[in-house]
Amino acid sequence: MMSYTLGKGEYENWIVSETTFSPDALAKVESIMYLGNGYLGLRSATEEPYLKERRNFLVSGTFNKFDEFEVTELPNLADVTRLDIRIDGDRFSLELGGTDNYVRQLNLKTAELIRSFDWTTKQGKKLRFNFRRFVSLDNLHLIGMKLEVESLSDSVEVSFESGINAQMSNTGSQHFHEGEKRIYDKRFVELIQTTTESKVDIALNTVHKIVINGKELTEDPDMNIERRNVSLNYNIHLEKGDKLEMEKLTTVYTSRDKAFDTSDYQLQTLRDKALADLRASYNKGYEQLFKESKQAWLDNVWNKYKFEVNSEDPYDQLAIRFALYHLTAMTPAHDNRMGIGAKALSGEGYKGHSFWDTEVFILPFFIYANPEVAKSLLKYRYFGLQGARKKAKENGYKGAMYPWEAAWPTDGEVTPVWGAVDIVTGKQTKIWSGFIEQHITADIANAVNQYYSITGDEAFMDDYGYEMIFDTAIFWASRLEWNEETQEYHINNVIGPDEYKEHVNNNAFTNYMAHFNLQLAMKYYKKLQEEKQALFSKLNNKLNLEAVNKEWQEKSEKLYLPEPRSLDKVIPQDDSYLSLKELDLSKYKAQDKVGGLFKEYNLEQVNQMQITKQADVVILLYLMEQQFTHDIKKANFDYYEPKTTHDSSLSLSTHAIIANDLEENEMAYSLFKKATEIDLGPVMHSSDEGVHAASIGGIWQVAVLGFAGIRVLDGELHINPRLPKHWIDMQFTFYWRGQALSVNITQENLDIVAEDKKPVSFISFGKKYQFDNQINVHLS
């Protein structure tokens, strides 16, 4: 029912579409076609309502907590998209009447959502509908909608009720006081609400413009204010051939916006600005506003990343555009106090919280393709030190212990505690990640270092980065546990990336990453001591570095790092994994949906088997690639891949990159395809709660870090392309030490243009190259 081949000409491989209406696929399509600009995200719920819809409208950073038993989450704002349309008094719905020529499409290039069809009433009257919608990338506060209805066969009465509906909630949890509802000039509809706990003010304003056969409607609508709802009702008579155009424009402003988050903030200023913006937008109209947004997408996204893939399967090109579209829509690039949610801004799933997903799966894209945004995302983690220090303290540790799930930077840990049903006990399963999934602290330190290695942004390190690396190392030093018996430091009772193994000791990934974090701290300690005495002195005063550096040295030397077994080179995922019983997973891997295992086993039982939810040892091989030989990588990939259910969307891209490194090209390509299908594939309910942000970052990673083979190791740029056999060529632009490099890779050649004509050196397949304008490398 999804189609990716509808785009023609300028829009070839730009169109994600649905060609038959399916009420059971509503939630999936709402997610994968959602509109966003980093400031706000709007699920693409249809204008007319359906039972299975999940109508969400989220604004970055507006976190609120319903009560003391829930964790903070992005609240679902009042809805502005729903139109209750009636034709001759009967409710319009695609489940009723007859529908022809149905297409719903997201144009990735223009970021416009379009839905068109002909619809026949039960009396046999024919109407043509065309719905359009965009979320502006030019004015981040603006949502544009347009509806065209043409009566094809008869005269009809068309009515619609539309306004601002605040009867929404987050699956039942209400985050807003009712607030104030107002209608100005019988036209401009306003709702002012405040979140219940965080006290964020939200100003929503909406207006309609109705034109019939080119002439603006002058009659006033019926006005309606009721509990948590304010709406206008329009009744329009159409003769055969008449065409109704309705534009609905909405603006949203909040007191979390940087412009308003000031000490002299006044609600009235916010209200005035919000309404003034809507009035100005109303004067421009949909077409002009859309044009401005489209231009912003060209300037800020498509002409910036210049990503082209020429594949035997044109879908690959579309999949990468899909990734770039969503990476843009999900990222609050405008505000460094905000992070990326694990489900982007596309749904209630994971409550808008940021996980390691950002640093490990999404940040690499921004570091290479848009370093300014990467810096903003890392600053979010810098501000998050406050929450991380709070968490460390609460847990009896020192330094910065990053929360497994993060919301507002000062919040600290916000992982919920209870999850899905335990089929054995009939109770909810306890979620341990917020307590013991601790590798995120090292993942963030690693990300800081990656950013620095690739951008060379010394100023960032001085102001933020060193402090983050030091304070995370301080955490790890306090976290390590001395084992008398082995005379080593251990890390006991953790969850590694594989969340199907709870309360394990010495998860390899966690131990290696912690070790790396300590090493980084020691390295930069030395550097600052030698090269930046003033900064050293400042941070030493703050963090008592001289004392902790000794502890780092002593402890990191004695930190146990699980070695590959001599027998088969397999690195034990943790102390007990390799002694657990095995289970043939082929049955569950063949299933269409994740979690099928849990219809037969509870988590306690899965804990006792060699079943891995997602890349665990394998992601270690990827992130710490220099520490492991090709043979070790191969042995571990071969051992763990069949034991990995890929129940997490974070898994496939890593396996694809490692497979590619291992020259398992067909497997790598196949895993790449599977990774793209997490959201784009036919599985009906995979994306109901939102798109998979990390998986989308992973699509880019497989292409650039995998197939194009770009890595930075020991401060050197490596480019070892291994394109899939099905790819003819690929082009894209990335940043290396502040300069944009545009690459063109074919099966035989690597061409690079240094856009600023500044000297570049890099290594390709072991050979070092230097150039300052452009270069061609022949790939044998």
* Placement of tokens 């910065």 in the chain: 400
Question: Using CA atoms, how far apart are residues 114 and 29, in angstroms rounded to an integer?
Answer: 13
Sign of CA dihedral 715, 716, 717, 719: negative
In the bound state with a copy of itself, the residue whose beta carbon lies nearer, of 186 and 550, is 186
Q: Which of 118, 148, 154, 178 binds a copy of itself (CB under 8 A)?
A: 178
**Integer angstrom CA distances of residue 527 from 364, 461, 757:** 25, 12, 30
The least distance separating a copy of itself from the CB of residue 249, rounded to whole angstroms, comes to: 18
Smallest separation (angstroms) from a copy of itself to the CB of 274: 16
Interface of this chain with a copy of itself, residues 598 to 657, rule: CB under 8 A:
599
DSSP state of 597: G
Instruction: Answer whether 742's CB lies under 8 Å from 733's CB.
Output: yes
Does 235 sit near a copy of itself (CB under 8 A)?
no
Angle between helices 652-661 and 693-701 (to 10 degrees): 10
Choice from 126, 181, 391, 673 touching a copy of itself (CB under 8 A): 181
* In the complex, minimum distance from the CB of residue 301 to a copy of itself, in angstroms, rounded to a whole number: 34
Touching a copy of itself, residues 421-440 (CB under 8 A): 421, 423, 426-428
Q: Which of residues 4-23 bind a copy of itself (CB under 8 A)?
A: 23
Phi and psi for 318 in degrees, rounded to 5? Answer: -60, -40
CA distance 204 to 147: 20
The residues facing 712 across adjacent strands are 717
* Residue whose CB is less far from a copy of itself, 184 or 265: 184
Site string for a copy of itself, 108-147 (x = CB under 8 A): ----------------------------------------
What character string, x for contact with a copy of itself (CB under 8 A) and - otherwise, covers 31-50?
------------------xx
**Which positions ≥6 away from 359 have C-beta within 8 Å?**
381, 440, 443, 444, 446, 447
Contacts for 766 with CB less than 8 Å, ≥ 6 apart: none
Token reading at 765: 């397949």
Catalytic residue (choose from 499, 502, 641, 689): 499
Half-sphere exposure of 103 (CA within 13 A, CB side): 16
What one-character DSSP code corresponds to residue 349? G
Single residue of 196, 607, 720, 774 touching a copy of itself by CB under 8 A: 196
CA dist., res. 23 & res. 184, Å (int): 36
- Closest to a copy of itself by CB, 429 or 720: 429
Per CB under 8 A, which region of 91-99, 207-215, 243-251, 726-734 contacts a copy of itself?
Answer: 91-99
Among 122, 124, 157, 184, binds a copy of itself (CB under 8 A): 184
- Number of chain positions touching a copy of itself (CB under 8 A): 46
Q: Is 547 in the site for a copy of itself (CB under 8 A)?
A: no
10 Å Cβ neighbour count for 444? 28
Residue with Cβ nearer a copy of itself (184 or 482): 184
The least distance separating a copy of itself from the CB of residue 58, rounded to whole angstroms, comes to: 16
State the Cα–Cα distance between residues 617 and 574, nearest whole angstrom.
9
**Site membership for a copy of itself, residue 157 (CB under 8 A):** no
Catalytic, 413? Answer no
Nearer to a copy of itself, 120 or 519 (CB): 120
Tokens 């421009």 appear where?
284
Residue type, 503: H
Choosing from 102, 128, 152, 182, the residue that interacts with a copy of itself (CB under 8 A) is: 182
Q: Does 592 bind a copy of itself (CB under 8 A)?
A: no
**112-120, 148-156, 177-185, 751-759 -> range binding a copy of itself (CB under 8 A):** 177-185
Residue in the structure block whose two tokens are 């030093």 = 477
Residue 777, SS3? strand
Distance, in Å, from the CA atom of 132 to the CA atom of 144, rounded to the nearest integer, reads: 8
Beta bridge partners of 238: 156
Q: In Å, how far are 3, 65, 199, 289 from 6, measured between CA atoms?
A: 7, 43, 45, 25
For residue 754, the tally of other CB atoms under 10 A from its CB is: 18
Q: 604 by DSSP, 3-state: which?
A: helix
Q: What is the phi/psi pair of residue 769, to 5°?
A: -125, 155
**Shortest spacing between CB 191 and a copy of itself, in angstroms:** 12
Q: Considering the rule CB under 8 A, would residue 24 count as an interface residue with a copy of itself? A: yes
Smallest distance, a copy of itself to C-beta of residue 428, A: 5
The distance of closest approach from Cβ of residue 54 to a copy of itself in the complex, given in angstroms and rounded to an integer, is 11
Binder to a copy of itself among 259, 276, 298, 420 (CB under 8 A)? 420
223 binds a copy of itself (CB under 8 A): yes
Q: Should residue 172 be labelled a site residue for a copy of itself when binding is judged by CB under 8 A?
A: yes
Q: What is the DSSP track for 211-245?
A: EETTEE--SPPEEEEETTEEEEEEEEEE-TT-EEE
Name the one range near a copy of itself by CB under 8 A: 7-15, 171-179, 572-580, 626-634.
Answer: 171-179
Binding segment for a copy of itself (CB under 8 A), chosen from 138-146, 256-264, 266-274, 420-428, is 420-428
Can you tell me which of 1, 6, 103, 183 binds a copy of itself, judged by CB under 8 A? 183
Which positions touch a copy of itself (CB under 8 A)? 23-24, 49-51, 66-67, 69-70, 91, 93, 95-96, 166-169, 171-174, 177-178, 181-186, 196, 222-230, 420-421, 423, 426-428, 599
Residues labelled as active-site residues: 499
